[in-house]
Chain A
């Protein structure tokens, strides 16, 4: 059998801390203590998170422009910001673009991540260590540095990518090809960056989850003569379902919220054609000085993400129940 080295200690995670509700209650004799311990965190969270979130929601119903910054006047305009945003064809282009990029990012991350995680189970220790170290290095790269390196890799005249692709000769002579002047190609490179940077987390999480699947299940499947594909379909994926579900939710949220790679590489250009929701709310608020509009776009984004997360998690839970 393949040797499995779980990254998560199975004993510990099977018995998370060993503090059941009963134990917790016994510890809760001192009624005021937990509240005292929580209070500083609760107060700070309310001030720096709670208040801004309320402010964001209120702002999305106000007219707040560069003049408001100085006069402090921000009249309520009911749903005007939302009407403006939803009535703007630009918004629908941005929404569609965000959807496409997210779908691509998450699809690639999950499928490539799954394959590499499976690969990690099947290699010798030295190869696993090598690959893991490389993955951790990629994971550790700050996004700003990674985006700048991307720019250098794909620099038209001196970038190594254009040179390599020219040597391969599949796409013809690419020396002097400027990827970032073409919106589709720019989006492809940004997607590639997000996938590259996101893969280590996906792979290592999936690998840890794979290590949790009891090897007896695979042995039983082997005795029953199940094919490799059937084993993946009927054992691996169902056993990993909770982790896969959480990964998908997280990756969707992170892709939609991704700002730095877009901003550093294209600033949403050329002429707004690589703008996604996160960049759009930023430029609406800070470049066009329409803070109310920016807030409305943010609220719509958060609403869409929340709806997706709730819907998706519900469905996952239901599927588990039915089985």
Chain B
């Protein structure tokens, strides 16, 4: 009986620590929303206000009203979606082949896919900048999409490959025994089972492109071509920072990613660890 009590006390202590850790970790995220929803007048106050009361969306409306917000939003959205569509179109076949077939160069391909994900963006950006400059694609959205493929595509192939491997090959074999062609088996059997994996990988790919700062900063030079991150940072360097609007804009920028992450986090953890352990 006393053993039970001891266990229960230990668990209560552990729970308390866990809640404390959770509060500390999430505090900056909370503070973003807290600041964003405050009345603009109460943001610059000597004693910070820990709850956004009275609640106000004025910071958001100031952020949304600032010149060109919707242009930047559209740029970010277009570039990210284009990156996802292109990388998935190319990655689907490659991931299926590398999971299901043996062919010359398969090992090399897999090793290359892992290695290239470790090259720093600050190294890649120099030759990519010069290349795009040479072909006149600087400051041009499709050019930016190409640079995003450099990190999204290897990641997409690698992740999708993991999902293909999770589908028992017996299912395809059975379908082929039942008279389907290999392509038919792929379309009828593999694709439906792969759909959640494709969705999850697309979301990660989208987030990777959406979050990028470095490439967009180097390649998109004129203001009307900024993506949201570049605009957000330029907010901060412009004189007399409007913290309310800046934080509200950061919140608008982050919310889609926060929602996506919560939706797919289970797959994310499983996918990354299985990839990591196997790789």
Chain A: residues with CB nearer than 8 A to chain B?
Answer: 7-9, 12-13, 16-19, 21, 23-25, 27-28, 30, 33-38, 40-42, 44-45, 48-49, 51-53, 55-56, 59, 64, 69, 116, 119-120, 122-124, 127-128, 130-146, 148-153, 155, 157-158, 160, 163, 175, 196, 199-201, 204-205, 208-209, 242-243, 246-247, 250, 253, 256-257, 259-260, 263-264, 278-279, 281-282, 285-286, 291, 294-295, 298-299, 301-302, 305, 309
B69 within 8 A of A: no
B197 within 8 A of A: no
- Taken together as a complex, chains A and B put the C-alpha atoms of A199 and B25 apart, in Å, by 9
For residue A201, which residues in chain B have a CB less than 8 angstroms away from its CB?
Answer: 272
A-B contact pairs, 9 of them (CB 8 A): A8-B273, A136-B265, A144-B229, A149-B31, A157-B44, A158-B243, A196-B25, A208-B270, A281-B120
For residue B250, which residues in chain A have a CB less than 8 angstroms away from its CB?
Answer: 144-145, 148-149
- Taken together as a complex, chains A and B put the C-alpha atoms of A7 and B73 apart, in Å, by 35
B 221-243 contacts with A by CB, 8 A = 229, 232-233, 235-236, 243
5 new A-B contacts, CB < 8 A, other than A208-B270, A247-B276, are: A28-B103, A48-B128, A144-B250, A145-B232, A149-B250
- Tell whether, in the assembled complex, residue B15 and residue A127 are in contact, meaning their CB atoms are under 8 Å apart: yes
- Tell whether, in the assembled complex, residue B10 and residue A122 are in contact, meaning their CB atoms are under 8 Å apart: yes
Which of B51-59, B60-68, B86-94, B188-196 lies at the interface? Answer: B86-94
Write the nearest CB–CB distance from A47 to chain B, whole angstroms: 9
A142-B229, A196-B25 are contacts. A44–B127 as well, Cβ < 8 Å?
A: no
A16-B165, A140-B260 are contacts. A134–B124 as well, Cβ < 8 Å?
A: no
Q: Which 8 A-B pairs have the closest CB atoms?
A: A17-B165, A140-B261, A298-B123, A41-B94, A257-B120, A37-B93, A34-B101, A37-B97
A124-B15, A142-B254 are contacts. A53–B119 as well, Cβ < 8 Å?
A: yes
Contact check: which of A44, A122, A158 meets B11 at CB < 8 Å? A122
B79 within 8 A of A: no
A196-B28, A282-B122 are contacts. A148–B233 as well, Cβ < 8 Å?
A: yes
- Tell whether, in the assembled complex, residue B101 and residue A28 are in contact, meaning their CB atoms are under 8 Å apart: yes
A28-B102, A142-B229 are contacts. A158–B269 as well, Cβ < 8 Å?
A: no
* Identity of the chain B residue whose Cβ is nearest the Cβ of A278 in the assembled complex: B122
0/1 interface trace, chain B 239-256, chain A, CB 8 Å (1 if under): 000010011001101100
- Taken together as a complex, chains A and B put the C-alpha atoms of A41 and B98 apart, in Å, by 11
B166 within 8 A of A: yes
Q: How large is the interface on B (under 10, 10 to 19, 20 to 34, 35 or more residues)?
A: 35 or more
0/1 interface trace, chain B 149-163, chain A, CB 8 Å (1 if under): 110011001000000
- Taken together as a complex, chains A and B put the C-alpha atoms of A143 and B93 apart, in Å, by 32
* Identity of the chain A residue whose Cβ is nearest the Cβ of B89 in the assembled complex: A40
For residue A12, which residues in chain B have a CB less than 8 angstroms away from its CB?
Answer: 166, 274
For residue B260, which residues in chain A have a CB less than 8 angstroms away from its CB?
Answer: 140
- Taken together as a complex, chains A and B put the C-alpha atoms of A212 and B19 apart, in Å, by 25
- Tell whether, in the assembled complex, residue B254 and residue A141 are in contact, meaning their CB atoms are under 8 Å apart: yes
B 201-219 contacts with A by CB, 8 A = 207, 210-211, 213-214, 217-218
For residue A36, which residues in chain B have a CB less than 8 angstroms away from its CB?
Answer: 93
- Taken together as a complex, chains A and B put the C-alpha atoms of A149 and B249 apart, in Å, by 11
Write the nearest CB–CB distance from B1 to chain A, whole angstroms: 19
- Tell whether, in the assembled complex, residue A127 and residue B102 are in contact, meaning their CB atoms are under 8 Å apart: no
For residue B167, which residues in chain A have a CB less than 8 angstroms away from its CB?
Answer: 17
- Tell whether, in the assembled complex, residue A49 and residue B126 are in contact, meaning their CB atoms are under 8 Å apart: no
A144-B232, A264-B213 are contacts. A158–B94 as well, Cβ < 8 Å?
A: no
B 134-187 contacts with A by CB, 8 A = 146-147, 149-150, 153-154, 157, 164-170, 182
- Tell whether, in the assembled complex, residue A138 and residue B91 are in contact, meaning their CB atoms are under 8 Å apart: no
* Identity of the chain B residue whose Cβ is nearest the Cβ of A58 in the assembled complex: B127
* Identity of the chain A residue whose Cβ is nearest the Cβ of B217 in the assembled complex: A263
For residue B120, which residues in chain A have a CB less than 8 angstroms away from its CB?
Answer: 256-257, 259, 278, 281, 298, 301-302, 305
Write the nearest CB–CB distance from B237 to chain A, whole angstroms: 9
- Taken together as a complex, chains A and B put the C-alpha atoms of A55 and B126 apart, in Å, by 9
A139-B261, A148-B250 are contacts. A40–B90 as well, Cβ < 8 Å?
A: yes
B9 within 8 A of A: no
- Tell whether, in the assembled complex, residue B127 and residue A295 are in contact, meaning their CB atoms are under 8 Å apart: yes
Contact check: which of B14, B109, B112, B165 meets A123 at CB < 8 Å? B14
Contact check: which of B10, B15, B124 meets A52 at CB < 8 Å? B124
B4 within 8 A of A: no
- Tell whether, in the assembled complex, residue A42 and residue B246 are in contact, meaning their CB atoms are under 8 Å apart: no
- Tell whether, in the assembled complex, residue A135 and residue B25 are in contact, meaning their CB atoms are under 8 Å apart: yes
For residue B266, which residues in chain A have a CB less than 8 angstroms away from its CB?
Answer: 7
B 1-50 contacts with A by CB, 8 A = 10-11, 14-15, 17-19, 21-23, 25-26, 28-29, 31-32, 35, 43-48
- Taken together as a complex, chains A and B put the C-alpha atoms of A131 and B207 apart, in Å, by 22
Write the nearest CB–CB distance from B35 to chain A, whole angstroms: 7
A59-B127, A278-B122 are contacts. A138–B18 as well, Cβ < 8 Å?
A: no
* Identity of the chain A residue whose Cβ is nearest the Cβ of B94 in the assembled complex: A41
A8-B269, A8-B273, A135-B25 are contacts. A130–B19 as well, Cβ < 8 Å?
A: yes
Contact check: which of A205, A263, A286 meets B272 at CB < 8 Å? A205
For residue B276, which residues in chain A have a CB less than 8 angstroms away from its CB?
Answer: 205, 243, 246-247, 250
B257 within 8 A of A: yes
For residue B277, which residues in chain A have a CB less than 8 angstroms away from its CB?
Answer: 13, 209, 242-243, 246
- Tell whether, in the assembled complex, residue B103 and residue A38 are in contact, meaning their CB atoms are under 8 Å apart: yes
- Taken together as a complex, chains A and B put the C-alpha atoms of A196 and B27 apart, in Å, by 11
- Tell whether, in the assembled complex, residue A160 and residue B31 are in contact, meaning their CB atoms are under 8 Å apart: yes
For residue B272, which residues in chain A have a CB less than 8 angstroms away from its CB?
Answer: 201, 205
